[in-house]
Amino acid sequence: MSDIGRCFPRLSLRLFQGFRIYGITATFFWGQPMRKNNLTERVIIVVSSVFYIGCSPFLAGTMASLAAFLVDILIIKANVILHLGIVGCITFIGFLVSGRAEKVFGQKDAREIVIDDFNGVLVGLLFLPYSLKISILGFIIFRIMDGLKPYPIYKMEKLKGSWGVMGDDLVAGVYTNIVLQLLRALLAWR
């Protein structure tokens, strides 16, 4: 099923029911019959996809990381208390919903679940001074860490449920933060 069909099954059903693509109906096109989500599933989809960013057909994890970068430079602006509060809340909520989101989306660490990427970038920028240069570098380093998955990130990814979804990106965020703190100390960034 496409990302749009998995995030908005009712909308997709309305738009494409009976619509034919080369003689194939939309339900066949989407891969499985679509069903109406209950309220709990809708909340899980909205939260785990960070308000549908994860439903983007183009680099959903990167888009969520970019959203976290924007939150950092536009809202947090090196307010450590606010930053810690946001990271704490998102981590708690992420662990709460990501395991359930796997069941809603029907696959382990579904690409629509991007709350982990969003949180990972914010962890990577924690306890750093407000600087556009540091924030951009943090975004880039996090994406590299998330892509390369150095030890133990790849091991964390294999865990079941919320630990597998959230754990690898939390460790990638910690690694990003360590690299940024070292660069800041070595290059005397402010």
138 occurs within a structural domain: yes
pLDDT of amino acid 33: 42
pLDDT-derived band at 159 (thresholds 50, 70, 90) equals: very high
Q: What percent of the chain is modeled with pLDDT above 90?
A: 71
**Residues 6 or more apart in contact with residue 160 via CB below 8 angstroms:** 108
Short-list 112, 117, 118, CA closest to 55: 112
What pLDDT, in 10s, does the model give residues 28-40? 333 344 455 689 9
108 occurs within a structural domain: yes
Asked if 26 and 17 touch (Cβ cutoff 8 Å), the reply is: yes
Asked if 111 and 62 touch (Cβ cutoff 8 Å), the reply is: no
CA distance 46 to 91: 16
Q: Scanning the structure block, which residue is given the tokens 């307010």? A: 79
Helix ranges, 149-160 (H): 153-157
Q: What does DSSP assign to residue 57?
A: S
Q: How many domains does the chain have?
A: 1
pLDDT-derived band at 188 (thresholds 50, 70, 90) equals: confident
What pLDDT, in 10s, does the model give residues 45-61? 999 999 999 998 889 99
178 occurs within a structural domain: yes
**Residues 6 or more apart in contact with residue 29 via CB below 8 angstroms:** 16, 21
Tokens at 185, concatenated: 């100390």
Tokens at 162, concatenated: 């919320």
CA distance 139 to 175: 12
25 occurs within a structural domain: no
* Average confidence (pLDDT) over 140-165: 94
148 occurs within a structural domain: yes
**Residues 6 or more apart in contact with residue 93 via CB below 8 angstroms:** 47, 115
Structural domain containing residue 126: 58-187
165 occurs within a structural domain: yes
Helix (H) or strand (E) holding 173: helix 161-187
What pLDDT, in 10s, does the model give residues 97-133? 999 999 999 999 999 999 999 999 999 999 999 889 9
160 occurs within a structural domain: yes
Asked if 97 and 48 touch (Cβ cutoff 8 Å), the reply is: yes
Mean pLDDT of the chain: 85
Give residue 10's region: left, alpha or beta (phi > 0; psi -120 to 50).
alpha
Beta-bridge partner residues of 25? 20
CA distance 50 to 64: 7
153 occurs within a structural domain: yes
